[in-house]
């Protein structure tokens, strides 16, 4: 097993120039985040206030079967609402009342803004306050924006969690406690909970919790680890309530997971010997799982289009643990503070870009002819038709990829399209 390479300040791409681009974009909107959030918070419901297009997008992204009864829906804004012929607030009250009568198990209701509701200036914050007062304490009603006008699709989760933070209870004291922030698959959450327990970190909570009544409390003693790199607003809201972020790379691959766990271990006084003993089995399993993928991925060239904000941690994982060459790493938004540890681990000279100018990025990608392109769904088929091999970036968000046990699964998401291409060529 290869050793974990220590992070050194000023190394890698910490001070590297970043190409900033503003132009045509190709991204999903923040409504897409509902697809994984509604599975995570098991007694929450997400009511999108939007158009039929919004409804079709979510239905298509979720792959909802005809007999399924999911915990999301769309309150359709029709011509009367858009023309001001109907009182949209009254209509919304009627829809919510009918929904809660039909689904009494709901304990947390999110009113999710969309492009149409924001264009007509529908005040969902006021509606949430009014409805929460009407239906509390049985149901809390919150709101956030999932509009795609100025956001990328992962920012829907950030907006949702940021809306939850002001509602978190205040802890009874300032005793040290760890909060893991970001929606994780239940299996991944359980794995991390076991690791923290074995490390002796007793008070650990996750945001979001699986049930509305189990959302974590917060105090000045709360330290939090971000599990996702796209939670800037949530982190800011937590810090405003006195919590402190633990700086760390993100838990992708063996190296990222080890450094992420070590940040918590150092903050809570875990000895080096205990940390080594607890993490060694997971590191060894991850190393074995990655070895066979390195045979295919080693030396391959990859190009990241900006889409999910996962691009820089993924690039670090691919470069350092699978020996992939980074042609260009584009990301919708580069938060230098939250990504400082990741940037330090990237190879010097990595081409970084922030934002999107689609035509210029397509030109650079076509000129480079990389072995693999990570991009959104809208670009994948046209690039495949041009002979380039692609990986859908949205799959990297939907799939459990964090932690030691998922390191091999994460690598396989990149080897699979290369193997598919080989079979097609054969």
Reported as a single tens digit per residue, the pLDDT across 284-329 is 999 999 999 999 999 999 999 999 999 999 999 999 999 999 999 9
Looking at the structure, do residues 308 and 392 belong to the same domain, yes or no?
yes
Q: Flag whether 171 is in a domain.
A: no
Please indicate, yes or no, if residue 189 is contained in any of the structural domains: yes
Residue 164 lies in a domain: no
Same domain, 312 and 259: no
- 269 and 185, same structural domain? yes
pLDDT for 370-401, tens place per residue?
999 999 988 999 999 999 999 999 899 989 99
Question: Which structural domain range is residue 111 located in?
Answer: 30-151
**381 and 406 inside one domain:** yes
Torsion of CA 222, 225, 227, 231, to 10 degrees: 70
Q: Using CA atoms, how far apart are residues 236 and 423, in angstroms rounded to an integer?
A: 47
- CA distance to 140, 156, 208, 255, 376, per residue, from 183 (Å): 20, 12, 6, 21, 21
| C-alpha distances out from residue 197 to 73, 190, 193, 194, 217, Å | 38, 11, 6, 5, 19
Within a domain: residue 10? no
Backbone angles phi, psi at 113, to 5 degrees: -75, 150
DSSP 171-226: PSS---EEEEES---HHHHHHHHHHHHHHT---EEEES-SSGGGPPPB-TTEEEEE
In the predicted structure, residue 87 carries a pLDDT above the cut 80? no
Query: Which has more pLDDT, 303 or 7?
Result: 303
Pair 253, 134 in one domain? no
State the CATH number of the domain containing residue 191: 3.40.50.1980
Say whether both 84 and 201 belong to one domain: no
**Domain check: are 258 and 340 in the same one?**
no
- Does residue 233 sit within a domain? yes
Domain identity same for 262 and 294: no
Global pTM value? 0.92
Locate 163 and state its tokens. 């809306």
Q: 170 and 219 in contact (C-beta within 8 Å)?
A: yes
Tokens of 185: 């698959």
- Give the largest Cα separation in the chain, rounded: 69
Q: Is residue 240 part of a domain?
A: yes
User: DSSP assignment, residue 250?
Assistant: -
What are 277's two structure tokens? 């003993």
Q: Please give the pLDDT value at position 150.
A: 66
Among 241, 273, 305, residue at a domain's last position: 273
> What tens digit of pLDDT does each residue of 137-164 get?
999 999 999 987 766 889 999 999 999 9
The verdict on 134 and 67 lying in the same domain is yes
Extract the annotated binding site. 29, 54, 115
For position 241, what pLDDT does the model report?
97
Q: Does residue 158 lie within any of the structural domains?
A: no
Residues comprising the binding site for [4Fe-4S] cluster?
29, 54, 115
Tell me how many domains the chain contains. Answer: 3
247 burial level (CB within 10 Å; 0-12, 13-18, 19+): middle
Domain shared by 320 and 416, yes or no: yes
The CA distance from 374 to 360, in Å, is 16
Is residue 156 situated within a structural domain? no
pLDDT in tens, 199-218: 999 899 999 999 999 999 99
* Helix (H), strand (E) at residue 260: helix 253-267
Given 273, 302, 337, which residue is the final one in a domain?
273
Residues 184, 142 share a domain: no
Chain position carrying tokens 């009182």: 87
Q: Domain boundary residue among 151, 168, 188?
A: 151
Cα separation, 379 vs 64, in Å, equals 24
pLDDT of residue 4: 41
Mean pLDDT check: name the lowest of 92-101, 116-125, 286-295, 373-382.
116-125
Same domain, yes or no, for 268 and 292? no
Helix (H, G, I), strand (E, B) or coil at 254: helix
């Amino acid at each position: 097993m290869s050793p974990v390479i220590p992070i050194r300040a000023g190394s890698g791409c910490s001070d590297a120039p970043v190409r900033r681009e503003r132009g045509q974009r190709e991204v999903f909107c923040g409504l897409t985040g509902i697809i994984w959030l509604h599975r995570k918070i098991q007694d929450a419901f997400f009511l999108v206030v939007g158009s039929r297009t919004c409804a079709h997008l979510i239905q298509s992204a979720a792959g909802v079967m005809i007999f399924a009864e999911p915990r999301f829906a769309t309150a359709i804004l029709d011509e009367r609402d858009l023309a001001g012929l109907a009182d949209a607030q009254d209509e919304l009250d009627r829809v919510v009342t009918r929904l809660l009568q039909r689904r009494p198990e709901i304990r947390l209701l999110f009113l999710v803004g969309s492009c149409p509701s924001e264009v007509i200036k529908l005040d969902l914050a006021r509606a949430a306050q009014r409805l929460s007062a009407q239906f509390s304490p049985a149901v809390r009603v919150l709101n956030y924006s999932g509009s795609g006008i100025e956001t990328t699709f992962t920012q829907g989760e950030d907006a949702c969690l940021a809306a939850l933070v002001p509602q978190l209870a205040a802890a009874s004291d300032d005793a040290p406690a760890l909060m893991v922030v970001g929606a994780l698959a239940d299996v991944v959450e359980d794995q991390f909970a076991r690791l923290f327990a074995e490390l002796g970190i007793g008070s650990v909570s996750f945001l979001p919790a699986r049930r509305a009544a189990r959302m974590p409390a917060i105090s000045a003693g709360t330290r939090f680890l971000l599990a996702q790199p796209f939670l800037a607003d949530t982190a800011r809201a937590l810090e405003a309530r006195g919590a402190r972020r633990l700086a760390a790379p993100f838990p992708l691959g063996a190296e990222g997971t080890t450094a992420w766990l070590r940040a918590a271990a150092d903050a809570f006084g875990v000895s080096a010997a205990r940390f080594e003993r607890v993490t060694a089995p997971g590191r060894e399993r991850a190393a074995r799982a990655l070895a066979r993928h390195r045979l295919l991925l080693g030396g391959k060239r990859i190009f990241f289009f900006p889409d999910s904000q996962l691009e820089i941690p993924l690039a670090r994982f691919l470069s350092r643990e699978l020996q992939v060459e980074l042609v260009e790493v584009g990301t919708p938004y580069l938060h230098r503070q939250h990504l400082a540890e990741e940037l330090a681990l990237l190879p010097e000279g990595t081409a970084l870009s922030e934002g999107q100018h689609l035509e210029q990025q397509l030109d650079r990608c076509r000129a480079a002819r990389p072995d693999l392109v990570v991009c959104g769904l809208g670009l994948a088929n046209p690039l495949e038709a041009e002979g380039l091999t692609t990986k859908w970036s949205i799959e990297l968000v939907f799939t459990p990829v964090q932690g030691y046990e998922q390191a091999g699964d994460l690598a396989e998401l990149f080897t699979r399209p290369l193997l598919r291409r080989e079979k097609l060529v054969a």
